């Protein structure tokens, strides 16, 4: 094949190829323009004076809704403000809870005030009848000695928590040698001693035993003679005493403000032995 024929075939192929490209491009332009307005058409439409119905805007819709709601409210009738007047307590009365509360507070207040007033008066008022812890008048000496004789050897003064017994005058010389009896000598010289009822062992009340004429403790069996000197048992000493004075008028006064520690074990000024069966 000659070169001229080859060139002719190449030119023909290029022309065919160019024609195909043009054809395809035209076809795409047709598809894109389907249903779309051309630029010219759109420009004409814009310039045309056409009265289309205007759609309401969102703001106007909201404003209309607010106006509807506002018009639906019925304004209250204007009235002059009224003045609040507190209710009359007399008219209301008192309910049960208020009554109980007030009654409780009143009773408690009255009780406290009465108690305080009584304590104040008792504090200021001189004690008419001294009680345990102070100087206690237990009666006339003659009456007490008579009671001791008639009651089997013992006199119990409950307000002084003490027993009063006879102290034999023949024992006085020995008593003067006992240091624990120094404060008791005045009463002993008047013929009596006052014994604290509390056992020096562990504090039980020690009763008298009329058959033995001793004091005999029911708790652990300590025994003391009639003037409180220890005879047996676990007690660490004799019974404690209180100082006794006999006034000019014959009144026996027991000073219970401070017990006087009992005599040491072995002290035996009276030499009194048991005069009968023991009680414990
Ligand atoms: S309390 Fe009296 S003997 Fe123990």
The rounded mean pLDDT for the chain is 87
Q: Is the CB of 278 under 6 A from ligand 1?
A: no
Average pLDDT over residues 56-73: 84
Tell me how crowded residue 243 is: count the other CB atoms within 10 A of its CB: 21
Task: Provide the residue count of the chain.
Answer: 280
* Residue from 233, 232, 234, 153 nearest 195 by CA: 153
CA–CA gap between residue 192 and residue 139 (Å, rounded) = 13
Q: How far is the CA of 261 from the centre of ligand 1 (A)?
A: 16
**Rg of the chain on CA atoms, in Å:** 64
CA 229 – CA 211 distance, rounded (Å)? 17
Question: Minimal CA–CA distance to 206: which of 227, 222, 192, 230?
Answer: 222
Model confidence over 123-141: pLDDT tens digits? 776 554 578 999 999 999 9
Asked if 155 and 148 count as a contact pair (C-beta separation under 8 A), the reply is: yes
> Domains (ranges, CATH) in the chain?
135-260 (2.102.10.10)
The pTM for the full model equals: 0.57
Contact status, residue 194 vs residue 245, Cβ threshold 8 Å: no
Ligand 1 atom with the smallest distance to the CA of 203 is 1
DSSP state of 127: P
- The answer to whether the beta carbons of residues 257 and 240 sit under 8 Å apart is no
CB of 213 closer than 8 Å to CB of 220? no
| 21-57 residue pLDDT tens | 877 776 665 555 555 667 777 777 777 666 666 777 8
Q: Is the separation of the CB atoms in 196 and 242 below 8 Å?
A: yes
**Which atom of ligand 1 lies closest to the CA of 206?**
2
State which ligand 1 atom lies nearest to the alpha carbon of 234.
Answer: 3
Q: What is the pLDDT of residues 85-138, one digit of tens each?
A: 877 776 777 777 888 888 899 999 889 999 888 878 777 765 545 789 999 999
Is any ligand 1 atom within 6 A of the Cβ of residue 239?
Answer: no
CA distance 197 to 163: 7
């Amino acid at each position: 094949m000659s070169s001229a024929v080859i060139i002719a075939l190449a030119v023909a192929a290029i022309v065919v190829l160019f024609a195909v490209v043009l054809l395809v491009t035209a076809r795409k332009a047709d598809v894109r323009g389907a249903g779309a307005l051309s630029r010219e058409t759109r420009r004409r439409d814009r310039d045309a004076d056409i009265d289309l119905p205007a759609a309401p805007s969102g703001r106007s819709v909201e404003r209309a809704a607010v106006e509807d709601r506002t018009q639906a409210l019925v304004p209250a009738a204007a009235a002059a403000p009224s003045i609040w007047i507190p209710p009359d307590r007399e008219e209301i009365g008192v309910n049960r809870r208020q009554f109980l509360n007030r009654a409780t507070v009143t009773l408690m207040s009255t009780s406290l005030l009465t108690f305080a007033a009584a304590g104040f008066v008792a504090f200021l008022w001189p004690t008419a009848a001294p009680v345990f812890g102070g100087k206690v008048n237990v009666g006339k000496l003659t009456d007490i000695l008579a009671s001791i004789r008639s009651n089997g050897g013992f006199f119990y003064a409950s307000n002084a928590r003490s027993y009063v017994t006879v102290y034999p005058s023949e024992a006085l010389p020995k008593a003067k040698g006992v240091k624990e009896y120094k404060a008791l000598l005045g009463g002993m010289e008047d013929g009596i001693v006052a014994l604290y009822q509390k056992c020096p062992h562990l504090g039980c009340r020690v009763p008298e035993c009329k058959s033995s004429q001793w004091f005999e403790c029911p708790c652990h069996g300590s025994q003391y003679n009639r003037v409180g000197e220890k005879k047996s048992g676990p007690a660490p000493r004799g019974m404690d005493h209180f100082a006794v004075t006999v006034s000019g008028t014959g009144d026996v006064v027991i000073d219970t403000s401070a017990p006087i520690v009992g005599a040491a074990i072995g002290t035996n000024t009276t030499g009194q032995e048991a005069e009968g069966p023991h009680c414990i």
